[in-house]
A and B are shown apart, each in its own frame.
Chain A
Amino acid sequence: MSDSQVIITIGREYGSGGHAIAEELSKRLGLKFYDHNILDEVALEKGVDPETLRRYDEKPHKLFLSRSVKGHHSSAEVNVAYMQFDYLKKKAAQGESFIVVGRCAEGIFEGHPGLISIFILGNKEEKCKRVMELYHLSEQEALEKMRRHDEYRKRYHNNFCEDKWGDSRTYDLCINSSLKGLEVTTDVLEAYIRTRMDSGNKQ
């Protein structure tokens, strides 16, 4: 790993705009951006259909309907997750700097000197409003969608990582995007990341 390598991981609550913020940060910082597009890359490498893999992306495995044997797992969700972890590890080993959304990345790269881990949360009302607008849903439907996705993300994350999803102790920085909006939140995060990068990302 080069001294300048940086791996920015962004966990997010559903509707907080974390994904959009991460994407904007990658543009501003000129870093490669990874989200579910990892599966496109993996599918291309292996010559398989990415849609088949996406069905199992960032989903928790079913506790009583899956089993592991000597490091092998019967759950497609777990195996798809490991494919993405392996891909990210390979990229990190090649010295690439990048921003990754979700995928337990702060857990995978725990202890990595280039790691900057961020969690983006939001107020329920603002998140709901955003989800309603984005997906043209009623308030009830939006709240249900938020609840379901956050539950999935929590279970998915906590299955692979020792630290808990959304717990402030898991991340370097937690920020509420609802307070000042996505633009300002992105500015704050950019400044924070640049400070870390300028100081050689010393923790």
Chain B
Amino acid sequence: MIAKFLALAIFLVMFFFIVTEKFERHYVTLACGACMLVFVFGVCMRSPQAIFDTLNFHSIFTAEFWHAGAEATESSGGINWSTIIFIAGMMIMVEGMGKAGFFRWLCLKLAKLVDYKPVRIFVVFMLMAAFLSMFIDSITVILFLAAVTVELCQLLKCNPIPMILSEVFCANLGGSATMCGDPPNIIIGTSLHYAFSDFLTNTGLIAGISLIAVVIYFYICFHKQFAVKTGESTQPVHYPDPKEAITDPKLFGLSIGIFAIAVVLLITHANTGLTVAFIGMFVAVLTLIVHHAEITDLLKKVDYKTLLFFIGLFIVVGGLEQTGVLVLIADGISAICGSNAKLMVAVILWISAFASAFVDNIPFAATMIPVVQTLSQLQGVPLPTLAWTLSMGTDIGGSATPIGASANVVGISVASREGYPIGWGKYCKYCAPATIMVVAISMVCIYIRYF
């Protein structure tokens, strides 16, 4: 019992310090993880096995870690090294693409293709944000996209805020469509051994339907702001040339090639058996070979803080799991919903969405995975249904507020630093209703398809 209380206390302290940002979040999760190992597993439980299971180093040295066989089983305990290696690999690949000028080139090329018409750019950039975020982390997508959006809007003499808000929303939505689009999905996928295609045919389908609704919604909200005023010239003096964005044509071509390989490997990994850890490592090695002259620079750009944050987080969640705290949460949800699976889906979906609107969705999703596993076992509700529900709730909920998802923060920051501050009121006025709409669409889709 003491171990349960202590584990819960450590978890709550971790959450408090993550939210208050008093210290950098990787210090918080690592310190809390160390406390979990020493005090909960060591002092209270006296269980070296629990420490061994939670650190989970042994998993890296198994063949299944790199090439999944049919015997792979569902497990979520301890540090999820697959997630960490995959994210690290994708970080290196994305850094290589950024260095070659890929993202800026793509934004400018698309703007040129739609003849620099504001409404067309508005729609095309939403679709591009959604598509790129299916494979690349939404922070990187928004970082480049928002910067180009502001630049183009200044030339086109229109307000960039509507475009940035809709791009941020669509990036979060696109991230929900695939296993590698959003960290909660990577954790859900690697923990429960779902394939890229599993996400694409389940959350991907819901995200696709929602994207149509979202584009229409934002078009209705903002199209008047992009209307061409009579007598006003829409031809600025000079638009940036997409070709100027390419820093090195050879590296540019190779970076696109590596990205294409990553996409193909991810789409086919259920058939090839290659795990996401392998794919992450593979594309990282390819990128480092291609950018061999800048290996040190590329490795320095890896966001080690985020990786350390994940490691500490997994230890803390592992502590909750080992001490049985998460079973208590599952019991609580069971008590409310009983065997009513539809109610259970609604509770998980809306609670996940609401929580993710205000707190980091990564610790929330990591905590909820063992909970939905237990719920599935207790009530006989198919685990995939609950997993897709959790995925949509955590991925979409974050769009509701300025602090709900990392992409929101980056988009707001880029706009604000260019003189277009976005406060809570302005953000929530447009994005909160869109979030409610997409969560409702998700619920209807889940009900129709799985019940």
Contact = CB atoms under 8 A, between A and B. Distances in A.
B416 A64 contact: no
A26 interface: no
Contacts of A74: 402-403, 408-409, 412-413
A53 B421 contact: yes
A66 B408 CA distance: 11
Contacts of B21: 67-68
A111 interface: no
B362 to A, nearest CB: 12
Given A52-B421, A79-B417, A80-B416, A72 B403 contact: no
A49 to B, nearest CB: 8
A72 B409 contact: yes
Interface string A56-93: 10000001111111101110100110110000000000
Best-surrounded residue of A42, A43, A48, A76 (most CB of chain B within 10 A): A76
B256 interface: no
A46 B409 contact: no
Nearest to A64: B19
Given A53-B419, A64-B19, A65-B424, A73 B403 contact: no
Best-surrounded residue of A43, A48, A70, A80 (most CB of chain B within 10 A): A70
Given A53-B421, A63-B20, A64-B20, A72 B154 contact: no
Contacts of B406: 69-70
A83 B406 CA distance: 21
A43 B417 CA distance: 11
Interface in B390-423: 402-403, 406, 408-410, 412-414, 416-423
Nearest to A48: B419
A70 B410 CA distance: 8
Given A65-B403, A67-B21, A67-B403, A43 B409 contact: no
A155 to B, nearest CB: 14
B164 interface: no
B399 to A, nearest CB: 13
Nearest to A79: B416
Contact of B409 (A48, A53, A68, A83): A68
B445 to A, nearest CB: 30
B303 interface: yes
A76 B303 CA distance: 25
Contacts of B128: none
Given A68-B409, A74-B413, A42 B419 contact: yes
B139 interface: yes
Interface string B1-27: 000000000000000000111000000
Nearest to A47: B154
Interface in A90-148: none
A79 B409 contact: no
Contacts of A80: 416, 421
Contacts of A56: 421
- Chain B interface category by residue count: 20 to 34
Contact of A83 (B19, B154, B408, B417): B417
B421 A73 contact: no
A79 B20 contact: no
A59 to B, nearest CB: 11
Nearest to A82: B417
B426 to A, nearest CB: 9
Contacts of B420: 48, 52
Contacts of B409: 67-69, 72-74
Interface in B159-190: none
Contacts of A83: 416-417, 419
A180 B242 CA distance: 64
Contacts of A72: 409-410, 412-414
A45 B443 CA distance: 47
Contact of A76 (B408, B414, B421): B421
A59 B330 CA distance: 43
B416 A70 contact: no
A64 B16 CA distance: 10
Contacts of B154: 46-47
A18 B424 CA distance: 33
Interface in B217-253: none
A76 B423 CA distance: 6
A4 B154 CA distance: 39
Contacts of B408: 74
Given A47-B154, A64-B20, A74-B403, A69 B419 contact: no
A25 B364 CA distance: 55
Nearest to A66: B403
Contacts of A70: 139, 303, 406, 410
A80 to B, nearest CB: 6
Contacts of B20: 63-64
A138 B162 CA distance: 43
Nearest to B306: A70
19 contacts: A46-B154, A47-B154, A47-B419, A48-B418, A48-B419, A48-B420, A63-B20, A67-B409, A69-B409, A72-B413, A74-B412, A74-B413, A76-B412, A76-B416, A76-B423, A79-B416, A79-B417, A80-B421, A83-B416
Q: Which 5 A-B residue pairings sit nearest by Cβ, starting from the closest?
A: A79-B416, A48-B419, A72-B413, A76-B421, A46-B419
Given A56-B421, A79-B413, 15 more contacts: A43-B419, A46-B418, A46-B419, A47-B154, A48-B418, A52-B420, A52-B421, A55-B421, A63-B20, A68-B409, A70-B406, A70-B410, A74-B403, A74-B408, A79-B417
